[in-house]
Amino acid sequence: MPEVVIVGAGPTGLACGIELKKLGIGAVLIEKGCLTNSLYNYPTNMTFFTTPELLEIGGIPMTSLNEKPNRTEALKYYRRVAEYYQLDIRQYERVLRMDGADGAFTVHSMDRFGKAQTHAAKKIILAMGYYDIPNKLHIPGGDMDKVIHYYREPHPYYGLEVAVIGAKNSAAIAALELFWTGAKVTLIHRGDRISDSVKYWIKPNIENRIKSGEVKAYFQSSVKAVYADSIDIETPQGIVQVKNDFVFAMTGYRPDFEFMAALGITLDEATQKPRTNPETLESEVKGIYLAGVVVAGVHTNEIFIENGRFHGAAIAASIAGAR
């Protein structure tokens, strides 16, 4: 029986498994999708804003043909690291709930054949990320199939009327790639301009497309309703209805607060940050640790691979100490 069950095999979960292994503590990683499932679901042609050495885990060097790695290079790197450390990873197995207490937990999951599985463990690490739950639009038509929260690549939208909601990195990249691929792009944002957090090599590009009118932009505006062939945009000048085939709602994502709350973990009312010991990342529920972006609550831009990768060492040291 492994001592520790890690929920999630993203970069943080992998780092936790490695640090535990280095201390001779057995762990199994349970992953509902493929290895680093969130990274796999990122835009196909995505380039990380981080340089390779800041994405490294387990002391394994990461290389890239470019100054910043792309999604394919990152996927290959994390596969190689998982292989090098011979981590015990159960892919396509979703953790549904867990019960028990410190020293004797039971984790209940469902594998890809729909078969119920259970795993006993003395300690639990939740490294479940945030990319699986999009911030929905909550407007009429907001749940239509044509409303997409996960941009992958532009080709299927060639020649079509596409709206992009948002003005941060994901929205800017989607809008540019769709424009370059021949889609007719309309960008809608509540703020008055493209966010300053947009990568420096992208910001001037999207701003120039907007200035030249190649990408139509509605700032200080929001989408009020989605219909089969159009959308209503509330602008400072009133409601505007525009032709539309697809809506990319780049409105961000959030951790699974319900899952944590069901375990008895207290979430801060304002930030939804789970209450943890800042040194060890142990939650109030003894024996349950939180790692990676899940500790950031709604402020998911505070924890990313660059800093979440260090959570593993702190947690492993605490578990070793608790032995």
Stretch that binds ligand FAD, among 121-129, 177-185, 187-195, 267-275 (CB under 6 A): 121-129
Does the protein bind ligand FAD through residue 94 (CB under 6 A)? yes
Does the protein bind ligand FAD through residue 129 (CB under 6 A)? yes
Q: Which is nearer to ligand FAD, 38 or 235 (CB)?
A: 38
Phi and psi (nearest 5°) for 249?
Answer: -90, 90
Query: Among all chains, which residue has been given the structure tokens 């020293």?
Result: 103
Q: Which is nearer to ligand FAD, 218 or 304 (CB)?
A: 304
CB 232 within 8 A of CB 225: yes
Stretch that binds ligand FAD, among 159-167, 217-225, 235-243, 302-310 (CB under 6 A): 302-310
Stretch that binds ligand FAD, among 5-13, 19-27, 80-88, 239-247 (CB under 6 A): 5-13
Q: Which is nearer to ligand FAD, 22 or 94 (CB)?
A: 94
Which residues, 6+ apart, have CB-to-CB distance to 113 below 8 Å? none
DSSP 3-62: SEEEE--SHHHHHHHHHHHHTT--EEEE-SSSTTHHHHTS-TT-B-SS-GGGG--TT---
Does the protein bind ligand FAD through residue 195 (CB under 6 A)? no
- List 170, 205, 221, 283, residue binding ligand FAD (CB under 6 A): 170
Does the protein bind ligand FAD through residue 306 (CB under 6 A)? yes
Beta bridge partners of 146: none
Does the protein bind ligand FAD through residue 176 (CB under 6 A)? no
Q: Which is nearer to ligand FAD, 10 or 17 (CB)?
A: 10
Phi and psi (nearest 5°) for 80?
Answer: -65, -40
C-alpha 198, offset from chain centre: 17
CB 286 within 8 A of CB 184: no
Does the protein bind ligand FAD through residue 128 (CB under 6 A)? yes
- List 58, 141, 287, 308, residue binding ligand FAD (CB under 6 A): 308
Nearest to residue 108, comparing CAs of 89, 120, 123, 95?
Answer: 95
Does the protein bind ligand FAD through residue 205 (CB under 6 A)? no
Does the protein bind ligand FAD through residue 305 (CB under 6 A)? yes
Tokens at residue 56, please?
Answer: 């490294």
Subset of 10-49 contacting ligand FAD (CB under 6 A): 10-13, 30-33, 36-38, 42, 46, 48-49
Terminal Cα-to-Cα distance of the chain (whole angstroms):
15
Q: Which is nearer to ligand FAD, 49 or 85 (CB)?
A: 49
Does the protein bind ligand FAD through residue 304 (CB under 6 A)? yes
Nearest to residue 153, comparing CAs of 269, 44, 306?
Answer: 44
Rounded to whole angstroms, the Cα distance separating 274 from 281 reads 10
CB of 292 to ligand FAD, least distance (A): 2
Rounded to whole angstroms, the Cα distance separating 100 from 122 reads 9
- List 95, 167, 210, 215, residue binding ligand FAD (CB under 6 A): 95
Q: Which is nearer to ligand FAD, 127 or 233 (CB)?
A: 127
Nearest to residue 252, comparing CAs of 163, 132, 140, 152?
Answer: 132
Stretch that binds ligand FAD, among 75-83, 127-135, 269-277, 279-287 (CB under 6 A): 127-135
Q: Name the site residues for ligand FAD (rule: CB under 6 A).
A: 7-13, 30-33, 36-38, 42, 46, 48-50, 94-95, 127-129, 131-132, 170, 292-293, 304-306, 308
